[in-house]
Chains A and B, each alone.
Chain A
Amino acid sequence: MNAPLHRLAEVAADPDAYVVAWKQSHPGRKVAGVLPMNFPEELLHAAGFLPVVIQENRDPDSDGRVILAEFYCGYTRNLADQAAKGKLDIYDTYFVADHCVQLLGAADVMRFKAPGTPIYFGQFIASMSEESTARKVRNEMEHIVGEVERGAGTPIDRERLAESIRLYNTDRRLLRMIFDARREGRIHLSGAQMQDLVKSSMVMDKAEHVALLEQLLTEGIAAGGSQARVKLHLSGHFCHAPKQELLDLIEDCGAMIVDDDLYHGRRYITTDVREDLDPIEALSTWYFDRNVNVPCPTRVQHDADWDTYLSNAVSESGADGVIVLMAKFCEPHMLLYPELRKMMDERDTPYLLIETEHEGLPMETIRTRIEALVERISRKATVAAAL
């Protein structure tokens, strides 16, 4: 593995260690823990924070296990556990702008487990097609700007915000170049490596991340390298990263991941903030644009839906099938899944649903299901070619 990839993987594997080291090397600076999936991190960056999307960790849930009910998703229950164990004390403050009930539950736990750590809330409207939506989003963005300024104790300089936006856009653009190259088969990186690229972006100082991506692209990423029989699109998995052993398993079963719409994938990097608008206006527009580029089931929009997006994405990448990764009890995903299923049935795209949990997975059973999907696709192709 080349040096930039190695460093990005290292940060992705242990975000807490990065945060602690960053604080040591930046005395007096603050780290803001951000809850996914829509917070405009650029605001925090411009205000001088290191914004870090708080990641699920790998520890078994223990101290915080009983705080949230069993039917909360693995990510929120793990956040509660991290809060109970004091693991989130590395953050100076928390910011939330999403409205998933389970996420708000976790935010509540964070609030009462660390009463000394300020937590700032915003809440973007989820109904995207109302006449009043644009105004409400703009108002909410102003409110969030106010919250960030309150947290930082200083107003956000508009020019610095524009710079932060440019930096974040650069990072997203570089990541998209790599994602596009993978989709077109020009480079080969494993699913786990692709996840490292995005997950590290959620954690690292953006300028440092951009520098590593530029170095990676200058050194070049190897093409080919996979003997995989079947090309797959990975879909779903909000808020937290699917376990890398699951991604490795998919590839070990003879599949190649060619594209995805995971939050720790294309969903995070899909949309740039416009640089030709007033920065606050641009961030409000970004909120809308994102939901068009990769629609999210936590929003309702009449002219954008995830099933159409997924269908187009599969056509574009030429994926032979789809693996839907769903965090168990992720309600927005569960509720929309029948629509995705209907679409995939209609276009005769083979698919497999895998439910993930924080506490390990029945890997042998999952292996059988993935292998069966791969065999199903490859045998059909072989027979079709022979007939």
Chain B
Amino acid sequence: MHTMGVDLGSTTAKAVIVDGTGAIVAHRVVQMGAVSRRGVTAAIEDVLRESGVERGDLGVVIATGYGRRLVPDATRTFTEITCHARGVAAMSPGTSLVIDIGGQDSKAIRIDSLGLVDDFAMNDRCASGTGRFFDVLARALECRLEDLDDLALAGSDDLEVSSMCATFAETEIISLLAEGSVPADIAASVHRAVAARTLGLVAQVGRANPVVMTGGVAHSRAAVHFLAKALGTEVSVPREPQITGAYGAALLGLESLQGETTVIGHAVEREHRHTGQLANGHDCTTCSLGQAKYQPIDVELWTASVAADRRP
């Protein structure tokens, strides 16, 4: 028996298929310009092909994410809040706080030992600190998005940055450049300010440990580093932080079929922990995120590791 979780976010579509034990059989992340049915269809077709599972053989399909109601033929929907909590509790048992930052929104989710949501907060209309915001930052600094991490981690973060609004950030950055500030310091300072903003969301639900960061922005060493530094605590990132919502959705589907509500937990070795303690993220240089940004993960290996780690 297999189930599928589909997470249709604002800029990416994710699909995960799990087997009857909760192990990931295949997963896929598709980048889109905006919420798109084509993107979600591509993600679904890819995981089906990769897993060799026929669509008709899936027990249930659970849709989640901003565009969850647009996912074709979903059995039911769950919010991304419930699904991230469920997915992270399975990948990283014992997690108390999930910080999920995607293309257009950010969330802080406090979860209990069973992966049930204790409290949550999400940004309203402001895109500060989301993926879109970092696009704006890279554009204003005239660097490629993939170079932004190195730039921010090389700078010092003591410039005063007043506006964290995605709309006004560009103007502010341009004025900082005009004042003679160096791009690396601007990048670092903006990252610091964005992390402080995320703390505002965390404050709404209450600080808790351990912390796991998910979502596309968790791929960014700099974003994770400055968040860990702002929180003053270790922040773990799953090796593929974008699929936790879809994974949680697939597990919720499995629960609904099996009538079980217990958490299927997995060990945490495959995560990297960022402490944010060492200057400029140098504690991160040896991890997978540090070696190569957007490094494709080895699906076969990871899937095997998830299956092996599953609790009996």
Q: Could you tell me which A residues sit within 8 Å of B by CB distance?
A: 350, 355, 362, 364-365, 368-369, 371-372, 375-376, 379-380, 382-383, 386
Contact A372 B124, beta carbon cutoff 8 Å: no
For the complex, what is the distance from the CA of A350 to the CA of B105, rounded to whole Å? 22
Q: Given A365-B125, A382-B261, decide whether A372 and B116 contact each other with a Cβ distance below 8 A.
A: no
For the complex, what is the distance from the CA of A3 to the CA of B117, rounded to whole Å? 44
Contact A375 B124, beta carbon cutoff 8 Å: no
Q: Mark B102-129, 1 if CB is under 8 A from A, else 0.
A: 0001000000001011111010110000
Contact A379 B81, beta carbon cutoff 8 Å: no
For the complex, what is the distance from the CA of A189 to the CA of B124, rounded to whole Å? 30
Which of chain B's residues have a CB closer than 8 A to the CB of A369?
Answer: 120, 122
For the complex, what is the distance from the CA of A380 to the CA of B116, rounded to whole Å? 7
Q: A362-B124, A365-B105, A380-B116 are in contact. List 9 more A-B contacts (CB 8 A).
A: A365-B125, A368-B66, A368-B79, A372-B81, A375-B117, A376-B120, A379-B82, A379-B116, A382-B261
Closest residue to A351 on the B side, CB-wise?
Answer: B119
Contact B80 A376, beta carbon cutoff 8 Å: no
For the complex, what is the distance from the CA of A41 to the CA of B297, rounded to whole Å? 70
Contact A368 B122, beta carbon cutoff 8 Å: yes
Q: How far is the CB of A108 from chain B (nearest CB, A)?
A: 31
Partner of B117, one of A364, A379, A386: A379
Which of chain B's residues have a CB closer than 8 A to the CB of A380?
Answer: 116
List 20 A-B pairs, Cβ < 8 Å.
A355-B124, A362-B124, A364-B66, A365-B105, A368-B66, A368-B122, A369-B120, A369-B122, A371-B79, A372-B81, A372-B82, A372-B120, A375-B79, A375-B117, A376-B81, A376-B82, A376-B118, A376-B120, A379-B82, A383-B114
Closest residue to A368 on the B side, CB-wise?
Answer: B79
For the complex, what is the distance from the CA of A372 to the CA of B122, rounded to whole Å? 11
Partner of B261, one of A365, A375, A386: A386
Q: How far is the CB of B248 from chain A (nearest CB, A)?
A: 11
Q: Taking the complex as formed, is B78 at the interface, i.e. its CB lies under 8 A from any CB of chain A? A: yes
Which of chain A's residues have a CB closer than 8 A to the CB of B80?
Answer: 368
Which of chain A's residues have a CB closer than 8 A to the CB of B124?
Answer: 355, 362, 365
The B contact surface, by secondary structure, is loop
Q: How far is the CB of A163 from chain B (nearest CB, A)?
A: 49
Which of chain B's residues have a CB closer than 8 A to the CB of A364?
Answer: 66
The 3 lowest CB-CB distance pairs between A and B, nearest first, are A372-B81, A376-B117, A372-B79
Q: Could you tell me which B residues sit within 8 Å of A by CB distance?
A: 66, 77-82, 105, 114, 116-120, 122, 124-125, 260-262
For the complex, what is the distance from the CA of A278 to the CA of B140, rounded to whole Å? 72
Contact A383 B81, beta carbon cutoff 8 Å: no
For the complex, what is the distance from the CA of A350 to the CA of B116, rounded to whole Å? 12
Q: Kindly count the residue-residue contacts between A and B in the assembled complex, taking CB atoms under 8 Å apart.
A: 47
Q: Given A375-B79, A375-B81, decide whether A383 and B117 contact each other with a Cβ distance below 8 A.
A: no
Closest residue to B204 on the A side, CB-wise?
Answer: A353
Contact B122 A376, beta carbon cutoff 8 Å: no
Partner of B116, one of A355, A371, A383: A383
Contact A383 B82, beta carbon cutoff 8 Å: no
Q: How far is the CB of A202 from chain B (nearest CB, A)?
A: 30
For the complex, what is the distance from the CA of A383 to the CA of B120, rounded to whole Å? 19
Q: Given A362-B124, A383-B261, decide whether A376 and B66 contact each other with a Cβ distance below 8 A.
A: no
For the complex, what is the distance from the CA of A376 to the CA of B77, rounded to whole Å? 14
Q: How far is the CB of B265 from chain A (nearest CB, A)?
A: 15
Q: How far is the CB of B306 from chain A (nearest CB, A)?
A: 23
Which of chain B's residues have a CB closer than 8 A to the CB of A376?
Answer: 81-82, 116-118, 120
Contact A375 B82, beta carbon cutoff 8 Å: yes
Contact A375 B122, beta carbon cutoff 8 Å: no
Q: How far is the CB of B167 from chain A (nearest CB, A)?
A: 16
Contact A362 B122, beta carbon cutoff 8 Å: no
For the complex, what is the distance from the CA of A371 to the CA of B64, rounded to whole Å? 11
Which of chain A's residues have a CB closer than 8 A to the CB of B81?
Answer: 368, 372, 375-376
For the complex, what is the distance from the CA of A382 to the CA of B114, rounded to whole Å? 12
Which of chain B's residues have a CB closer than 8 A to the CB of A368?
Answer: 66, 79-81, 122
Which of chain A's residues have a CB closer than 8 A to the CB of B118?
Answer: 376
For the complex, what is the distance from the CA of A166 to the CA of B77, rounded to whole Å? 51
For the complex, what is the distance from the CA of A368 to the CA of B105, rounded to whole Å? 12
Partner of A365, one of B78, B116, B122: B122
Which of chain B's residues have a CB closer than 8 A to the CB of A379?
Answer: 82, 116-117, 261
Q: How far is the CB of B77 from chain A (nearest CB, A)?
A: 8
Q: How far is the CB of A299 from chain B (nearest CB, A)?
A: 28
Q: Given A362-B125, A365-B125, decide whether A372 and B117 contact each other with a Cβ distance below 8 A.
A: yes
For the complex, what is the distance from the CA of A380 to the CA of B82, rounded to whole Å? 11
Which of chain A's residues have a CB closer than 8 A to the CB of B117?
Answer: 372, 375-376, 379
Q: How far is the CB of B113 from chain A (nearest CB, A)?
A: 11
For the complex, what is the distance from the CA of A368 to the CA of B245, rounded to whole Å? 14
For the complex, what is the distance from the CA of A79 to the CA of B78, rounded to whole Å? 40
Which of chain B's residues have a CB closer than 8 A to the CB of A350?
Answer: 119
Question: Could you say which of B79, B82, B120 has the most chain A C-beta atoms within 10 Å of its C-beta?
Answer: B79
Q: Given A365-B125, A386-B261, decide whether A375 and B78 contact each other with a Cβ distance below 8 A.
A: yes
Which of chain B's residues have a CB closer than 8 A to the CB of A365?
Answer: 105, 122, 124-125
Q: How far is the CB of A168 from chain B (nearest CB, A)?
A: 40
Question: Could you say which of B77, B120, B260 has the most chain A C-beta atoms within 10 Å of its C-beta?
Answer: B120
Closest residue to A374 on the B side, CB-wise?
Answer: B79
Which of chain A's residues have a CB closer than 8 A to the CB of B119?
Answer: 350
For the complex, what is the distance from the CA of A382 to the CA of B117, rounded to whole Å? 13
Which of chain A's residues have a CB closer than 8 A to the CB of B122?
Answer: 365, 368-369
For the complex, what is the distance from the CA of A382 to the CA of B115, rounded to whole Å? 13
For the complex, what is the distance from the CA of A386 to the CA of B263, rounded to whole Å? 12
Q: How far is the CB of A223 from chain B (nearest CB, A)?
A: 27
Question: Could you say which of A355, A365, A372 has the most chain B C-beta atoms within 10 Å of its C-beta?
Answer: A372
For the complex, what is the distance from the CA of A376 to the CA of B260, rounded to whole Å? 16
Closest residue to A341 on the B side, CB-wise?
Answer: B204
For the complex, what is the distance from the CA of A332 to the CA of B262, rounded to whole Å? 44
For the complex, what is the distance from the CA of A368 to the CA of B107, rounded to whole Å? 11
For the complex, what is the distance from the CA of A365 to the CA of B261, rounded to whole Å? 27
For the complex, what is the distance from the CA of A247 to the CA of B66, rounded to whole Å? 21
For the complex, what is the distance from the CA of A191 to the CA of B117, rounded to whole Å? 26
For the complex, what is the distance from the CA of A369 to the CA of B78, rounded to whole Å? 11
For the complex, what is the distance from the CA of A271 to the CA of B154, rounded to whole Å? 66
